[in-house]
Amino acid sequence: MAEQLIDKGWIDVIGSDCHHLGHLQMLESLRSNEHLHKVVSKENLLNKSL
């Protein structure tokens, strides 16, 4: 669902909810994810400084 929202350009804010090392490792694995790169490159992303 998240990928579909990104493809449609309907994402304005992104965030995470990390509680332990496993969550951080999962985020690390997303560094090469095309959808993550697509959403963070949006000009109108409201929290672009993350």
Residue written as token pair 């995470």 = 16
Higher pLDDT, 6 or 30: 6
Contact criterion met (CB below 8 Å) for 20 and 13: no
Q: What is the pLDDT of residue 11?
A: 92
Q: Are 8 and 16 in contact (CB under 8 A)?
A: no
Pairwise pLDDT comparison (26 vs 49), residue with the higher score: 26
Tens-digit pLDDT profile for residues 4-26: 999 999 999 988 888 888 888 88
The pLDDT score that the predictor gives to residue 50 is: 61
pTM of the model: 0.67
Write 14-19 long-range contacts (CB < 8 A, 24+): 14/39, 14/40, 14/45, 14/47, 14/50, 15/47, 15/50
